[in-house]
Each structure stands twice: as structure tokens, then as C-alpha cells.
Amino acid sequence: MSTIRYLDHFEPSAFDLIIVGAGFYGATIAERAAELGKRVLVLDRRPHIGGNAYSENESETGIEVHKYGAHLFHTPNEAVWNYLNRFTSFTDYKHRVYTSLRGQVYSMPINLGTICQFFGRQMSPDDARRLVAEQAAEMADRIPSNLEEKAISLIGRPLYEAFIRGYTAKQWQTDPRDLPEYIITRLPVRYNFDNRYFNDRFEGLPVDGYTAIFEKMLSSPNISVALKTDYFALRDTIPKTIPVVYTGAIDRFFDFSHGELGWRTIDFETEVLHTGDFQGTAVMNYADESIPFTRILEFRHFNPERDYQTDKTVVVKEYSRSASKLDEPYYPINTPSDKEKYLKYKQMSENEGNVFFGGRLGTYRYLDMHQAIGAALKSFESEIAPRLKAQQE
């Protein structure tokens, strides 16, 4: 049972640190500050802790559902892994993804099995490398300047056109030629039959679910949490002497003074189906651009060790689109125009002496969970802890 101290009414001046956002970045800072004996107030406009990593059990089936899309924990960072293991243990889940294309199912990310199946013949690793190199030759020695060019340089045009172009256009609601090249580098290409999605040394899912992690991280008596609370409605009541960690959208913080940054959001369509297994795997991508959704999640497959009922299952279709001011911004699109705007906001943020910007929204960066935790730990040690300690002097 949660021991979090929830507040409906509070006086901002009673705290040593105020954190806007109860996701992994904010919760990590809160936990670290509380360990120093500091009084911490965490604000979140949502009715729950956990940010986008929040999970809950679906009422009809009891199956744990990640409310804001699939969250798969993985990291190469042993320090982050050890830190999070203070609050949870992990299953041995290894993420594997499949892609539907023109009525066929392929393994994803692209590996030797995908290549052999797509081109309809058995190939050795060297055969596949030579074929892909031939198909990528159109890039010659040119340095890729966008996602499309980077993808072609990695896998050639046929594989790019089949598996990447349509899915990416749906996912980002942006022409791949207008997206930064680094996005595609997150997806490995393998010349063996390894179909594990991530390469990281550490991987798994929290044994008791994601929300249980946050309940432990925020359980210190030095931490208070105010939900359904809009930071901007009370910003003027916060004394300037109290440090603020802000993990919301940076363009919103500055009232969109340099224009709106491009964000992608997701609409979720959840169904309870009367079958024990709908698709046989946790994630099925849909690469055909004519299919409006990007993927279907079946959450029972994330936790095969649990004793879920066998006559019903929960599936979630994801529809990606550009976000408006009224939507939840999930992912920064980061077109050249966005980069130009963000640099202006970043310069403004550097003049906010007692406000620290962090997290995916606050830094306009595509951060995985482990990267958000790592960035929070680093920021706490280098910036926030020294500021809090200085308060005592």
C-alpha cells in the first residue's frame, strides 16, 4: 500500500524544492533530494504519479496496461540499473517485435531472418552484407542529412521503402526526409538471426508494475505530492528563492514566445477481446501506410509469468498524430525549424537562474526511461544538490 503523502492544500514556501512532473526524471530528483533531508513538493496536473510510465490493471481482466503506450525497460548503464533496483526487481523479459507488411509477418528490427524472408532466399551473413551494400550504394560517400538518407545508407532503399518509410511517416506524421538522421540509429540492423529488439546488457519489466516503482520512490516523509495541480496556476505564488525542477514542455513554460515546437502525440484504442491470445506477441507493428494505426499492443505477453485469465485479453491500437496545445505531447519531432526554435528556448532557460529544465519535454530530447533517470542523477549531483546545500549557508 502506498505511503505517499498527498496534499490538497499547501503553502509553496514550506518546501526546499518544487518539482513539476511526477515521471521518472522528477521522481528521481525528488528521491535524491529527500535523502538529503530536504522538503520536496512534487506537482503533477494528471490524477496519478508516474508520468507516461504509469500503469494500471485493466478492470475487467486484471491485465496490467501501460496507459501511455508500451514501456520496456532496458539500459547499458549499470549505475542506472542498480539505482532502479532499489525500488523494484525485474523479470527476465526480453523484448521482441514483429512487423506486418502486405499480409506477411517479419521479425523486427531487421536481421538476417528478415532479409532472407523479404528477398525470398537463404543468405549467409556475408551474402546479406553484400546485397545491402549494393542497395545502399546510391548514398556513395555522402553524409546523411535526414532520416531517409541515413536509413538508405544502413539498409538500402528496398528494405527502407518496405519497413521504414511508411511506418515512420505514420509514426511521426512527418516526411522522413524532414526528420533528423539520429532517430533511425536507435534501431539496430543485424546480420544474424538474433531477433531481440534491444542490445542493452540490462533488460526486464518491473515485477510489480511501473506504478509500484513510483510509490516507493516518492514514499519518503520528506516528499509531498499534489496531483491535478497546474504549475502555471500557482507559479506566481512560489518564492523566487525556492529552486524549481521543471519537466513539462519547454515551449509552454515560455508561453510559446518563439512559436510552438513540433510534438507527436498518440491516440489509444483499447479493447477487451474474448480470446486468450489475439496476436501471439506483445507488439505487432504495421508497416503498410494504408493501415491507419502504427501498432497493436497485447499486454498479457509482457508478463507471461503472471496468472492472467485465459479467456480474455487486452489489446491497444496506437494512432500517431501531430499534437496541438490541448494534447499530451509525447515525442519531439525535431525538424530543422524545431531545432531553431528550441535553441532560442534553451537560451531563455539558461537565464532562469533557479529553474532547472529536465526530462523529455523540458529538454526537447527523445529520452528513454533509463536516459531520463541517468540525466536526473547527473543533474542532481552537478547542479541541484549544490544549490540545495547552498540554501543552508
Catalytic positions, please?
186, 190, 264, 295, 318, 366, 368
**CA-to-CA distance for 355 and 258, rounded, in angstroms?**
19
Residue 390 to residue 320: CA distance in whole angstroms: 45
3-class secondary-structure state, position 158: helix
Distance CA 121, CA 112 (A): 11
Distance CA 129, CA 331 (A): 33
Q: Which of 297, 296, 314, 275 is nearest to 60 (CA)?
A: 314
Q: DSSP states of 100-147 as a string?
A: EETTEEEEES--HHHHHHHHTS---HHHHHHHHHHHTGGGTTPPP-SH
Task: Spell out the SS3 assignment of 38-101.
Answer: CCEEEEECCCCCCHHHCEEECCCCCCEEECCCCCCEEECCHHHHHHHCCCCCECCCCCCEEEEE
CA end-to-end distance (rounded Å), the chain: 38
Q: Does residue 120 contact residue 106 with C-beta atoms inside 8 Å?
A: no
